[in-house]
Structure 1
Amino acid sequence: MTSTREINKLVFAIGQRYSTFDPFTWADKLNVQIYWKEVADKPLAETLYYGDTPIIMISNTIRYSTQKYFVLAHELCHVIEQDGLSAYYSSNVRFKNKSENSADEFAMSLVTNLYIEENGHLPETYNDLRYNYGLPFLGN
């Protein structure tokens, strides 16, 4: 992915296809298995492949937290946009940083649209998204 506009178009197209912006519904529709596991503090989730089948492992520490929405949306970007790039991804730091930033933008777009779906309007502040869907804290 290269631009925010392309990311937003992709998120909107998938949301229209599945009639929702709920990342858990998307994972189900995409046949992505989600496993809740006791894992290290970081990362909170990881996308793995069993053959060609994507599997997302998410930390149990966020299972009942709103943070699970943003984290899953981020991992879904890796499945949707970066399928098959895992070997290059793990060996190239520059690509990894770009890929992670792109996945964060994707997740931000997805949860913003989920907020609109659930509330009927745009969020008034970043904190609205942070508290509802676990976006990262950007403060000092």
Structure 2
Amino acid sequence: MTAIRKLNKLVFTIGKRYSTFDPFVWADKLNLEIFWKELGKKPLAKTNYFFDEPLIMMSNNIRYSNQRYFALAHEIGHVLEHKGLAAYYVANKVNKHKTEFEADKFAMAVVTNLYIEESGHLPNTYQDLRYKYGSPNIGD
């Protein structure tokens, strides 16, 4: 099975299990704590581990913005796909880019399915996802 199919299967399985693709519901069901903090302009969110438990910090700058959906889905992607890689991730720039790209793909699958859940159809354009869930500019 290709990596993208595996990722889509994971997203679909979680969405089916929790009857939604809303990342805030997922975080609640997965017992992931979210802390809203002053993080500055970037990053918009960050996952740290405390005694092997993930703690997701999200920027107050996006607390009431649609960007919070993509940012949280991205962090959930890290929690599910990259657990235990925090030190290696920081020490290895190539791996950092790879894990960020993987978390972005995970988040994109989540918000695309959330869009379908809420509107009943695929988004017409990528801009629809950007507007509704704060998906980043391609290349950001």
TM-score normalised per structure 1: 0.95
**Alpha-carbon distance between aligned partners in 2 of 1:10 and 1:95, rounded to the nearest angstrom:** 21
Corresponding position of 1:73:
73
**Alpha-carbon distance between aligned partners in 2 of 1:7 and 1:85, rounded to the nearest angstrom:** 18
How far does residue 3 in structure 1 lie from its aligned partner after superposition?
2.0
| Gap regions ≥5 residues in structure 1 | none
**Alpha-carbon distance between aligned partners in 2 of 1:96 and 1:85, rounded to the nearest angstrom:** 10
Q: Classify the secondary structure of the residue corresponding to 2:65.
A: coil
Amino acid at match of 1:85: L
Q: Classify the secondary structure of the residue corresponding to 1:138.
A: coil
Which segment drifts farther, 46-55 or 105-114? Answer: 46-55
Equivalent positions of 1:37-52 (< 5 A) are 37-52=37-52
What is the aligned-residue identity percentage? 64
Amino acid at match of 1:24: F
| Gap regions ≥5 residues in structure 2 | none
Equivalent positions of 1:122-133 (< 5 A) are 122-133=122-133
How far does residue 125 in structure 1 lie from its aligned partner after superposition?
0.7
How far does residue 52 in structure 1 lie from its aligned partner after superposition?
1.8
How many residues matched? 138
**Alpha-carbon distance between aligned partners in 2 of 1:49 and 1:76, rounded to the nearest angstrom:** 13
How far does residue 53 in structure 1 lie from its aligned partner after superposition?
1.3
Corresponding position of 1:31:
31
**Alpha-carbon distance between aligned partners in 1 of 2:85 and 2:130, rounded to the nearest angstrom:** 30
Corresponding position of 2:5:
5
TM-score normalised per structure 2: 0.95
